[in-house]
Amino acid sequence: MHVQARAAVVTGAASGIGLALSARFARAGAGVVMADVAGDALHRRAAELAAQGADVTAVTADLTDPDAVERLADTAFGLLGDIDVVCNNAGVLGPVGQPLWEVPLERMRQVFEVNHWAHVLVARAFVPRLLERGRPAHLVHTASMSAFVVGAGSAAYAASKHADLAVARSLRADLRGTGVRVSVLCPGRVDTPMVQGLTAPRGAGGDTSVSAENVADLVWEALGSDRFYLFSNPDAPLRLRDQFDDVWRHVSLPPPSPEEELWPAPKATTEARKHRPSTWRR
């Protein structure tokens, strides 16, 4: 099966990977609905692409609002007719550099609203309509290498990307045997406004950086194929190997022996020893 990308929907399209995906599809002659909550920036970028001859439409939408997502689907299908590609790409970085117990809960919820729940809402709005039409189509979820590799101070972002990876894997299983393919995009560091000036927390970043255009080309080449995991950065194999070596090391560890003291008894303090009854035994 090959998806002829004549019509595409891209969320998070005002900048970064979403903008690059929109430009890549438009350059190939596809009509593109670009969606983002940042309306002013979105319309500026869409106007720039249109001035170059692109067939693009900007739709300002808060993708954390179920009603807004349904309206986006109505608009996209109304404008484009049959849709070939949906790039579920909207995302935010959120707080980094703080341990989990210091991250404000409201900030963490906000990250999940965009990186996880908005992706769920978009899938729920678009997939049934794609299935109804019975044509080949491709759903691309933007997750991250942080769906696999987790460093210090990145709990909110990494947890949301783990959740999105699980959603993409579930969708892949749900849609097996249909004409709708699913891929999960897992970029490492990408030169986008979201990460400019950011020092990645310890263990969270990779050693390579790629352009958003490189990522868009990777997605374009994968459309219609069975490629599920899309890794954009050349250091991905090494980073993944380190993670899975760690998992395998724990899988292969022998069980503790019955004689092993799993939780060592705490040593009594000097003050406690003074008052310890003589009947105490360890």
Segment holding 8, helix H or strand E? strand 7-11
Q: Sign of the CA dihedral 112, 113, 114, 117?
A: positive
> Is 229 noted as a catalytic residue in this protein?
no
Cβ–Cβ under 8 Å, residues 141 and 185: yes
Q: How far is CA 250 from the centre of its chain?
A: 27
Lookup: tokens for 148? 């696999």
Q: Which of 142, 157, 158, 186 is catalytic?
A: 157
Q: Which DSSP helix (H) or strand (E) runs through 57?
A: strand 56-60
Distance (Å, whole) CA 204 – CA 218: 23
Within a 13 Å sphere around the CA of 57, how many CA atoms are in the beta-carbon half?
16
If you search the block for the tokens 């729940």, which residue do you land on?
117
DSSP type of residue 207: S
Nearest to 37 by CA among 155, 159, 139, 122: 122
In whole angstroms, give the CA distance from residue 149 to residue 155. 11
Please work out, in degrees rounded to the nearest 5, the angle formed at the alpha carbon of residue 65 by the alpha carbons of 143 and 70: 90
Q: Is the distance from CB of 118 to CB of 63 less than 8 angstroms? A: yes
Report which DSSP code applies to 254: P
CA distance 45 to 195: 19
- Rounded to the nearest 10°, the torsion over CA 80, 85, 88, 89 is -100
Residues catalogued as catalytic:
157
